[in-house]
Structure 1
């Protein structure tokens, strides 16, 4: 699958223009890639709006991106500027579960996301059982 992944409020807390705090996304994202799926960063950050900081977060967390704001192969079947993906993980997606945060806007609940990815066969039960999401409640 090609999975579109937002950054602020999804991979980290909302602290734009800075990179926010860890919310438990990194290991889940590494496992998604390990399982053969491709991540496409789908963000409002652009070259002039701190994109490099987000890309550095992925690099520091050893998460391989397939594309940034575009699916590298979509030019074969469309000239649309909208990135093509099979699934999107974004803090503004309808139905996504969020964790309240005392100091910032709510962010994606990665425990809930991991459970949905398990249901779809994107992650394994063994992978999901290793995740530690307890730190989320302290943000």
Structure 2
């Protein structure tokens, strides 16, 4: 399945990490918010829609964090592409996640990430976020 995620940055260049609800597949693991790309959508359109559905916020989608990462889970193959994103507001309504936290870039590796998201977190830890333009 083709999935898109958001590495959401705030004004301090902290990154939003979201924890999957207990009852969901991969419950309690951390991930970058997002979801499946629907037929006819670009990845950017899918991400904008997903963030509106999950948090009730408007998003500005920037460049991709890196390549698309693939992981085989017991429920199927996930192909994940994550984009840097800025939000119009940090006032988030939690619709699909158990918990959210704003992380310093250097702290991302301390979270228990879902497998595909862990690869993205490792890339972000190496980025110079001060040079990023969204």
TM-score of the superposed pair, with normalisation by structure 1: 0.33
TM-score of the superposed pair, with normalisation by structure 2: 0.34
Q: Which has the larger radius of gyration?
A: 1
Which structure dedicates a bigger proportion of its chain to strand?
A: 2
Which structure dedicates a bigger proportion of its chain to helix?
A: 1
